[in-house]
């Protein structure tokens, strides 16, 4: 955990970057739809590239140095972690982002989790100290990444963000961008 940088949003917190802005834009967009959503996948395309091909969109897209998220359809009934290794992106896609909702448990419950996947899910869902989280993770081809994690409760919980808070998901996303 020494390499994990966690930032709670607010004035003066964290370094800003285009990948951070993309993650925050996606989190804001998805949050507007509420909770209990299916996983969502986004291609990140350099806004300048979109404007070069469609100049009429320039006023709508804003900063040409930013990344525009473009939502992709995902097949139903598959875990996104199982699907990501099968995905590859064309060169025009500068990065990608995924949104998932997950249940987390306190560290002291780790030894109690059953090995069977169905039993583990039931255990987590019924655990009195479980916490539901929405996780947005964005990765660019240059290796930069950012994640934003929002707890479901309390409703006004601050957004937790940083480049290293979900390394496994970052690694999965980065693998989809390899040639």
Mean pLDDT over 67-77 rounds to 94
This prediction has a pTM of 0.85
pLDDT score, position 40: 97
Percent of the chain clearing pLDDT 90 (strictly above) = 66
Band of pLDDT at residue 152, cut at 50, 70 and 90: very high
| φ, ψ dihedrals at 20, nearest 5° | -65, -45
User: At a CB cut-off of 8 Å and minimum separation 6, what does 25 contact?
Assistant: 69
- Among 22-31, 60-69, 118-127, the least confident range: 118-127
Please report, for the chain, the start and end positions of each structural domain, with discontinuous segments joined by +. 7-176
* For residue 11, pLDDT beyond 80: no
Q: How far apart are CA 40 and CA 160, in angstroms?
A: 19
Band of pLDDT at residue 111, cut at 50, 70 and 90: confident
**92: burial class by Cβ within 10 Å (0-12, 13-18, 19+)?**
exposed
């Amino acid at each position: 955990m020494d390499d994990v940088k966690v930032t709670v949003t607010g004035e003066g917190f964290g370094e800003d970057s285009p990948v951070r802005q993309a993650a925050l834009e996606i989190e804001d967009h998805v949050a507007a739809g509420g909770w209990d959503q299916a996983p969502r996948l986004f291609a990140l395309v350099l806004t300048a590239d979109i404007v070069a091909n469609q100049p009429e969109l320039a006023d709508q897209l804003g900063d040409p140095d930013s990344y525009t998220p473009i939502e992709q359809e995902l097949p139903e009934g598959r875990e996104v972690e199982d699907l990501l290794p099968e995905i590859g992106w064309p060169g025009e896609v500068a990065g990608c982002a995924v949104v998932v909702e997950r249940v987390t448990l306190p560290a002291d419950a780790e030894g109690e989790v059953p090995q069977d996947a169905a039993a583990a899910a039931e255990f987590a869902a019924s655990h009195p100290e479980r916490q539901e989280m929405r996780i947005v993770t964005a990765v660019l081809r240059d290796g930069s990444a950012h994640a934003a994690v929002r707890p479901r409760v309390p409703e006004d919980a601050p957004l937790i963000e940083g480049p290293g808070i979900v390394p496994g998901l970052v690694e999965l996303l980065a693998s989809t961008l390899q040639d």
